[in-house]
Amino acid sequence: MHGGEAGKGGVEVSGNGNIDLTAPAPRLRNTQQSSKHHSWETPREFFEVVERIFTMGRGFDLDAAASDENRLCERYFTAKDSALCQPWGPLADGYGAATVWCNPPYGKLLGEFVRKAWEEAEADRAEVVMLLPPRSDTAWWHEYVMRASGVYCVRGRISFCKGGEPCSQNTFPSVLVHFLPKSERGVDNCPDFRSWCQRCGPHCRCRDAQGLL
């Protein structure tokens, strides 16, 4: 990544591939959330920065783990839609992989969502960006995350939301995990963006990101 981009609410993308959230988020509540709470709503200002980076301004096509109240994309899956049991792509016209955002529930289904994201990328149906806790002691981390196109550490801790309003800061760090469609993976990972390398093809994210990051 090159340079840095300051976002709203203290969000900053740093030059070393991290997203910096160390600045205080606005309107923090004084209530505490424990790890027993499994649904962590993504702050919109954080999502908007991530969306600019990974979609180059085009926007995500699908929010794969949402509710009617906290959806971040026009197309979205709720719990009743059974996101684990249906394809996340391709695009509606049948051409090209869908670009998917997924901040899954952090309970017992977390590993299943990570597996599903990897399977959709392997099938060339979707490019998936996931917001996850860095649980490197789990089987799903070693089986799927370690095979991702990129893993990006978030500096600081995200102030997740409840009902659209910021809650107290959570008790765990976060990472962004990027699964590229199988047909779009280059031989070499870019040392800056850890995705496409300039010599890998016309869709080099390193080149596209010049001036943005």
Domain positions in the chain are 5-23+35-208
Between 107 and 200, name the one with better pLDDT: 107
Average the pLDDT over 2-28 and give the result: 40
41-55, 116-130, 160-174: least confidently modelled range: 160-174
211 pLDDT band, cuts 50/70/90, is very low
Tokens of 48: 């908007």
Tokens of 99: 């670009």
Instruction: Identify the pLDDT of residue 7.
Output: 39
The letter for the amino acid at 5 is E
The conformation of residue 12, written as its DSSP 8-state character, comes to: E
Between 165 and 194, name the one with better pLDDT: 165
65-79, 134-148, 182-196: least confidently modelled range: 182-196
Q: Which residues of 1-20 are buried (b: 16+ CB within 10 A; e: fewer)?
A: beeebebebbbbbbeebbbb
Question: What residue has token string 């709503």?
Answer: 41
pLDDT at 160 over 50: yes
Between 192 and 171, name the one with better pLDDT: 171
Instruction: Identify the pLDDT of residue 210.
Output: 39
Instruction: Identify the pLDDT of residue 201.
Output: 39
pLDDT at 47 over 50: yes
Average the pLDDT over 105-131 and give the result: 95
Start-end of H helices in 86-132? 110-122
Query: In sequence order, what are the beta bridge partners of 96?
Result: none
31 pLDDT band, cuts 50/70/90, is very low
Share of the chain above pLDDT 90, in %: 45
Global pTM value: 0.71
Start-end of H helices in the chain? 44-55, 110-122, 139-143, 205-208
Q: Which CATH architecture has domain 5-23+35-208?
A: 3-Layer(aba) Sandwich (3.40)
Average the pLDDT over 112-123 and give the result: 96
82-102 pLDDT, tens digit each: 999 999 998 877 678 999 999
